[in-house]
Amino acid sequence: MQRRVVVTGVGLLTSVGIGTKPVWEAIKSGTNGIGPITAFDATDFNCRIAGEVKGFNPGDYIEKKEIKKMGRFIQFAIAASEFALEGAGLKPNPETAERTGVYIGSGIGGFEVIEREHRNLLEKGPSRISPFFIPATIINLASGYVSIRTGAKGPNSATATACTTSAHAVGDSFRLIQHDDADVMICGGAEACITPLGVGGFAAMRALSQRNDDPEHACRPWDVSRDGFIIGEGAGILVLEELEHAKGRGAPILAEIVGYGMSGDAYHITSPAEDGDGAYRVMRNSLRDAKIEAHQIDYINAHGTSTPLGDRIETTAIKRVFGDHARTVAVSSTKSMTGHLLGGAGGLEAGITVLAICDQIAPPTINLEVPDPDCDLDYVPNHARPMKIDYALTNSFGFGGTNGCLIFKKYE
């Protein structure tokens, strides 16, 4: 018998709010978090809008002398982990430290530090490179810092699988607890790449929306006028816990995680196959892992990036997996509000999916005005919907053809 795993804490930090409750309230109300870029002068860029985290003060969570040692994505991970642990009512202690692990990923890591230190190298010479440059930028230091700060001595790892990063981190953590390698995992992802190279690189691929004069309506998954995704930043962290461990300490149980699927497209470095084969197989694999049928899924938090190709292909894959039930399952993209957190998206959207189950509310897809004829499912347009959600699924797809899918269940 595999051990049952539950979610006892969720920590969220995005362009629509800082803290789990503010983010969730904003998501339910359909709040837009997209606006003009303020992190740098984007005048010469063809995309000048993003989902920036507003009003974040790292000093609220991190000692002043430590802040300069870490990239912004690490700061986000620390803050979101604090929110998640507080919600879970959990403080790792010496007795439980070896059974508590950390698994936090990032798709890109400390881009702003790389850009800054490269300028120092060119303008001032190698002697002016910060001694904190490497630990401030590398992806596994988000897990490292959270482990050090909490005293968690169990499994410590990180993923870097593009936009599937934190879905894989949550799923792998689920497996670690199932297989008795840990009792508690602090897991998810963080991203902070609203920088000249980050925005410029994705813009060069023609992947970003250019609706610069109307940022509030720029991210519009499944709409016929969608023209690309919006970069977002922030973090999504979950506390996963073995069921009996959680019950033994009287923890709040928000949902149970019951399924995890992975797949590879083996097709193209940035584009999914036209038939959505990888997306189809990852959802199929997660359903098989959960030991449930497709018709039992009530809600899907989709990858839904607002790209012309990606949205259509995900719709095709959902139809293939769910058959006739595809017309009745509620599907939404919360990226329409937060932007795309890249490596942080899976953790954020897993957290949102858990909260949707808790409150029995499907969050909306905002800005869906004229649906693409090829995208003809129930995307919960523009307004949240109270509904029965016993099982919910969330998708993440990444460059390189890497896919992850998680299934959560209402805890009983």
Q: Which residues are catalytic?
A: 163, 303, 340
Measured CA to CA, the distance from residue 253 to residue 354 in angstroms comes to 10
Measured CA to CA, the distance from residue 48 to residue 212 in angstroms comes to 6
| Share of the chain residues as helix, strand and coil, in percent rounded to the nearest 5 | 40, 20, 40
Measured CA to CA, the distance from residue 53 to residue 34 in angstroms comes to 10
Which H helix or E strand runs over 80?
A: helix 72-88
Sign for the pseudo-dihedral over CA of 170, 188, 392, 380? negative
Residues 6+ positions from 156 with CB-CB distance below 8 Å: 101, 102, 103, 140, 143, 144, 147
DSSP string spanning 251-303?
Answer: ----EEEEEEEEEE--S-SS---TT-HHHHHHHHHHHHHHT--GGG--EEE--
Give the helix ranges, DSSP H, for 151-259. Answer: 165-178, 196-204, 243-248
Cα 226 to Cα 198, 219, 305, distances in angstroms: 21, 7, 10
Report the relative pairing of strands 5-14 and 17-18 from DSSP bridges: antiparallel
What radius of gyration do the chain's Cα atoms show?
Answer: 20
Give the helix ranges, DSSP H, for 89-127. Answer: 111-124
- Gap between the terminal Cα atoms of the chain: 18
Report the b/e string of 208-224 with b at 16+ CB within 10 A.
Answer: bbebeeebebbbbbbbe
Question: Do residues 270 and 205 lie in contact, with contact meaning Cβ atoms separated by under 8 Å?
Answer: yes
